[in-house]
Amino acid sequence: MLAVSIHAGCSNHSNNSGGAPNSKQNAAGKLRIALIPKGTTHQFWMAVHAGGLAAAKELGDVEIIWKGSETEADTSGQIGVVKNFITSHVDGICLAPNHSQALVDVVAESVAEKIPVVIFDSGLAPGADIVSYVATDNRRGGILAGERLAEAMGHEGKVILLRYKEGSESTEQREVGFLEAIAKEKKIEVLSSDQYAGTSTQEAFAKAMQLLNKYRDQVTGIFAVCEPNANGTLEALVQSGLAGKVKFVAFDSSDSLIRGLSAKTVHGILLQDPYEMGKQSVTTIVKKLRGEKFEALISTGEYVATAENEHTSPFDRLLHPELSHSQ
């Protein structure tokens, strides 16, 4: 199940309960849609942006305004971005909240100003009426990661779970799912599951090195729950001389992680579909504004890439998604 509080059907700009199309558009007659990622640094968000731009092109008369904090740790910065879009009175907002609780009030403020909001990638706590939630089933993704790591380990050994940051609903669900899967493995022990790597590759590298040094003679598997987390962990495995020896499963891809599949230093990559996430988010908010039917909950799927399937469909597309390089 996708874990989020959904309150579909919030008021549109026309304040017409019958769902009449919105009339507030820019000078060119286009609906202005703000697309706000958790951060702008990582490949995942570039794919989200590309999907949003593709949706705008297909829909016609839609302008995408892309803006986010550089780092995913900047919650106050993300709140400021949302507030600025409310002030400029965009027609709709698509938001990936980098904290499930901290963004509730500003989303409620947007809704109060008759600017509807679609939440994508990571869930928002109850407290604001949103149009739809577009995301991976992150708990199921975590379960699949645990199952893949157990398989790579031969269903025995000792594992490390490297967490991301508190308040990130998507990664928290992955962590829960992973531990559920490992709990079913009678011959696998969890060495560490309470350590947070932080939001950057550098922080993740430092934390992973600390854990690998501490458990060097015991650890046989490790799971990292997002792209920066996984990139840092892979580098730590290489630097510690444990790459390939310790089985490693990552969530989200990058060039280095994809190379790791072929080199057998990465034993599985849990894939989302960020391009489709961006596309569906923009499509859904435009449907809301145009008074068309839309889904309150949209799952964009979760997939396990391995060295054996990485060149087959759909894994090849998901490992190498179309990216937008504009910031």
* Residue-averaged pLDDT of the chain: 91
Return the CATH architecture of domain 138-271.
3-Layer(aba) Sandwich (3.40)
Mean pLDDT, residues 38-50 taken together: 93
Tell me the pLDDT band of 311, cut-offs 50, 70 and 90: very high
Q: Where does residue 124 fall: left (phi above 0), alpha (psi -120 to 50 degrees), or beta otherwise?
A: beta
Global pTM reads 0.85
Q: What pLDDT sits at residue 327?
A: 52
Is residue 27's pLDDT more than 80? no
Proportion of the chain above pLDDT 90, given as a percent: 87
Is residue 24's pLDDT more than 80? no
Mean pLDDT, residues 244-271 taken together: 97
21 alpha carbon, distance to own chain's centre: 30
4-8, 17-21, 318-322, range with the lowest pLDDT: 17-21
Q: pLDDT digits over 178-233, tens only?
A: 999 999 999 999 999 999 999 999 999 999 999 999 999 999 999 999 999 999 99
DSSP-assigned letters across all residues of 211-260: HHHHTTTT--EEEE-SHHHHHHHHHHHHHHT-BTTBEEEEES--HHHHHH
Query: Considering Cα of 243, then 245, then 246, then 250, what sign does the dihedral take?
Result: positive
Q: What pLDDT sits at residue 14?
A: 29
Select the more confidently predicted residue: 43 or 14: 43
Contact 205, 232 (CB under 8 A): yes
CA distance 267 to 148: 8
Q: pLDDT digits over 287-307, tens only?
A: 999 999 999 999 999 999 999
In this structure, what token pair is assigned to residue 128? 């604001």
Q: What pLDDT sits at residue 28?
A: 61
Q: What pLDDT sits at residue 319?
A: 95
DSSP-assigned letters across all residues of 38-60: S-SSSHHHHHHHHHHHHHHHHHS
CA distance 47 to 318: 10
CA distance 262 to 259: 5
Contact 151, 187 (CB under 8 A): no
Q: What pLDDT sits at residue 70?
A: 84
Amino acid at site 9: G
Q: What pLDDT sits at residue 41?
A: 85
Strands 268-271 and 303-305: antiparallel
Q: pLDDT digits over 233-253, tens only?
A: 999 999 999 999 999 999 999
Counting Cα atoms < 13 Å in the Cβ hemisphere of 314 gives 13
CA distance 283 to 31: 12
31-136+273-300 CATH choice from 3.40.50.720, 3.40.50.2300, 2.40.30.110, 3.40.190.10: 3.40.50.2300
For the chain, residues classed under CATH 3.40.50.2300 are 31-136+273-300, 138-271
Residue 97: partners with Cβ closer than 8 Å, 6 or more residues away: 38, 78, 103, 107, 119, 122, 123, 124, 169
Q: What pLDDT sits at residue 7?
A: 35
Is residue 3's pLDDT more than 70? no
Proportion of the chain above pLDDT 70, given as a percent: 91
